[in-house]
Amino acid sequence: MKDKILVIGANGQIGTALIPFLEEIYGEGNVIASDINNPVNYTGVFEHLDATKADNLSAVIKKHDITQIYHLAAILSARGEADPVWAWNINMQTSLSVLQAAREHKLNKLFIPSSIAVFGPSSGKEMTQQNACLEPSTVYGVSKVATENWCSYYYHKYGIDVRSLRYPGVVSHQSMPGGGTTDYAVDIFHKAINGEKYTCYLKPDTALPMIYIDDALRATIKLMEAPKKKITVRTSYNLAGLSFTPDGLYQNIKNITSSFEMEYQPDFRQAIADSWPGSIDDSIARNDWEWQPEFDLSRMSRDMFFHLAKHKAFASQP
Ligand SMILES: NC(=O)c1ccc[n+]([C@@H]2O[C@H](COP(=O)([O-])OP(=O)(O)OC[C@H]3O[C@@H](n4cnc5c(N)ncnc54)[C@H](O)[C@@H]3O)[C@@H](O)[C@H]2O)c1
């Protein structure tokens, strides 16, 4: 039987890019997009779904004979700090509904991403290890540590094949990011392509682990397609793409568009960034399912410019 895949939180930064990627692999009719908000430009099968509501989730699974879920709905780091209890409730209730639904409907596989936000000041700053101490300083990080442990619990207790990656900050051109601390690395390209000056909310030398969307999608599918016996981490795999600072990215963009200007006005997100690692050791992912990123800073910047210029030309057509 062909897999039928439900993507929850499909309108977000990763979902917008993941849906066509999954459609390419599994066939258009086999990928169902869902979100609490209606999509703007999506023409495939879509279900309006609040994933905190277990009954509604169950009904969608039954209606479409779903066999796998990619659960992307979450409140990210910066938004979460504005209302921590709300963020905790959304992040935990959606994840628990999905885990419970997988058990009830005997789903084949689940993907529930985690984040480098699980790390905190005690995790070690460079090449942070898989089993580093997890004492995050944001409610988002706290909810991701808890979710990782629930994933492991459902695997060991009920045999649910739930897989996870600790995504670094994702850089993508398909949509705008949804309120994380690494959003600057997407916003900056939009300003640069429009010939505008960018004001960065992090200090110039703040190194953070990041990943280009093509690598993030490839890692996701590689993990999900790996034979079950290869999966040795049942909380969430460390994943690395590249690491850079705002100044490093600025200099790189200036190589493409020399007139681009940037200034710095650090805000509350600086403290969040300071609590996170600068780089990640992902050797277990490399060993278990042969993970290897392909995009360095220059290649990422050129690809962002190429795609954003295309979007801009398309948007300005009469
Ligand atoms: N984007 C990144 O840089 C990054 C980094 C690390 C981890 N992640 C993780 O990857 C996943 C996807 O992130 P993203 O950047 O696409 O997030 P996003 O904020 O861009 O999108 C989240 C989507 O979830 C939807 N949503 C919110 N509450 C919902 C609910 N109750 N029911 C259904 N849908 C709901 C939102 O409408 C939104 O479309 C999240 O788990 C996030 O923590 C993302």
From the CA of 30, how far away is ligand 1's center (Å)? 21
Residues designated as active site: 140
CA proximity to 212, closest of 239, 250, 194 = 239
Closest residue by CA, ligand 1 atom 36: 9
Using the atom order of ligand 1, give the atom closest to the CA of residue 50: 32
DSSP-H helix ranges across the chain: 13-26, 54-64, 77-82, 84-104, 139-158, 184-193, 213-225, 246-256, 269-275, 283-289, 297-315
Instruction: Give the CA angle between residues 59, 90, 46 to the nearest 5°.
Output: 40
Burial of 245 (0-12, 13-18, 19+ CB in 10 A): middle
For ligand 1, say whether the CB of 167 is within 6 Å of any of its atoms: yes
Question: Is it the case that residue 80 has pLDDT exceeding 80?
Answer: yes
Sheet holding 109-111, edge to edge: 46-48, 31-35, 5-8, 68-71, 109-111, 162-163
Q: Distance between CA 171 and CA 252 in Å, rounded?
A: 15
Report the separation in Å between the CA atom of 83 and the middle of ligand 1, taken as the mean of its atom positions: 16
Taking the C-alpha atoms of residue 286 and residue 136, their distance in angstroms, rounded to an integer, is 25
How many C-beta atoms lie closer than 10 Å to residue 292's C-beta?
Answer: 11
Atom of ligand 1 nearest to the CA of 90: 31
Q: With 0.75 as the threshold, say if the pTM is over it.
A: yes
Tokens standing for residue 281 = 């050791």
Q: How far is the CA of 317 from the centre of ligand 1 (A)?
A: 31
For 5-169+213-238, give the CATH class: alpha beta
Contact 237, 166 (CB under 8 A): yes
Domains 5-169+213-238 and 172-209+241-280+288-315 share a fold: no
Q: Is the pLDDT confidence value at 317 over 80? A: no
- Alpha-carbon distance 178 to 161, whole Å? 28
Interval 167-219: pLDDT, tens: 999 999 999 988 999 999 999 999 999 999 999 999 999 999 999 999 999 99
Rounded distance, CA 180 to CA 178, Å? 6
d(CA 303, CA 296): 11
- 106 with 44: CB under 8 angstroms? no
Cα 195 → chain centroid: 28
Q: Give me ligand 1 centre to Cα 50, in Å.
A: 13
CATH of domain 172-209+241-280+288-315: 3.90.25
What are the domain boundaries of the chain? 5-169+213-238, 172-209+241-280+288-315
* Residue 263, phi then psi, degrees to nearest 5: -125, 170
Q: Residue 1: is its pLDDT beyond 80?
A: no
Query: What pLDDT was estimated at residue 91?
Result: 98
Ligand 1 mutation pick, 6, 8, 14, max ligand atoms within 8 A of CB: 14
Tokens linked to 26: 């599994």
Q: Each residue of 264-307: pLDDT tens digit?
A: 999 999 999 999 999 999 999 999 999 999 999 999 999 999 99
The finding on whether 170 has its CB within 6 A of some atom of ligand 1 is: yes
